[in-house]
Amino acid sequence: MSDITQAQADAVLSAARDSARETGTAMNIAVVDAGGNLKAFTRMDGAWLGSIDISIKKARTARYFDMATGSIGELSQPGGPLFNIEVSNGGLITFPGGLPLHGEDGSIIGAIGVSGSTVENDHTVASAGAAIQH
């Protein structure tokens, strides 16, 4: 298993933070490793306190299922095949803002989770972090 390095995680945080500044938002940004364990985290000044946990849960959710958190949310609605999956794993967050992170060889080396604004902005900032080439 390839795993994200501290240098890579720092680059992901930095790219996401730059994106947050461009969008004028104050974000919580979390990076987990290939094992789903917290690797790096930063909270911008003024970012919502409740988004600390949500950003971490988004990153973990994205790595737990190797897909964008929003994709799981489409399946977890009432009547859907994964209804209320959110109660598992100590709490999943299934709306946008969490994305897998890929290594040079294309394998998943971790995930990023962003929370602090609209889910559209959260997703934009997470995407900026995930776009870093490793």
Instruction: By CB under 8 A, name the one of 19, 65, 126, 128 that touches a second copy.
Output: 65
Nearest CA to 26 among 100, 122, 96, 112?
Answer: 122
Interaction between residue 15 and a second copy (CB under 8 A) = no
Instruction: By CB under 8 A, name the one of 61, 121, 124, 127 that touches a second copy.
Output: 61
Which of 91, 131 has the CB closer to a second copy? 91
- Go through the chain and tell me how many residues it has: 134
Interaction between residue 12 and a second copy (CB under 8 A) = no
Instruction: By CB under 8 A, name the one of 23, 48, 132, 134 that touches a second copy.
Output: 48
Instruction: By CB under 8 A, name the one of 19, 94, 124, 127 that touches a second copy.
Output: 94
Which of 79, 133 has the CB closer to a second copy? 79
Instruction: By CB under 8 A, name the one of 11, 12, 15, 34 that touches a second copy.
Output: 34
Nearest CA to 57 among 92, 88, 82?
Answer: 92
Contacts of residues 67-76 at CB distance under 8 Å and 24 or more positions apart, as own/partner, are 67/100, 68/96, 68/98, 68/99, 68/100, 68/123, 69/93, 69/94, 69/95, 69/96, 69/97, 69/98, 69/99, 69/113, 70/94, 70/95, 70/96, 70/97, 70/98, 70/119, 70/123
User: What's the min distance (Å) between Cβ of 130 and a second copy?
Assistant: 18
Which residues contribute to the site for a second copy (CB under 8 A)? 1-3, 5-6, 9-10, 33-45, 48-54, 57, 61, 63-66, 73, 76-79, 81-96, 118-119
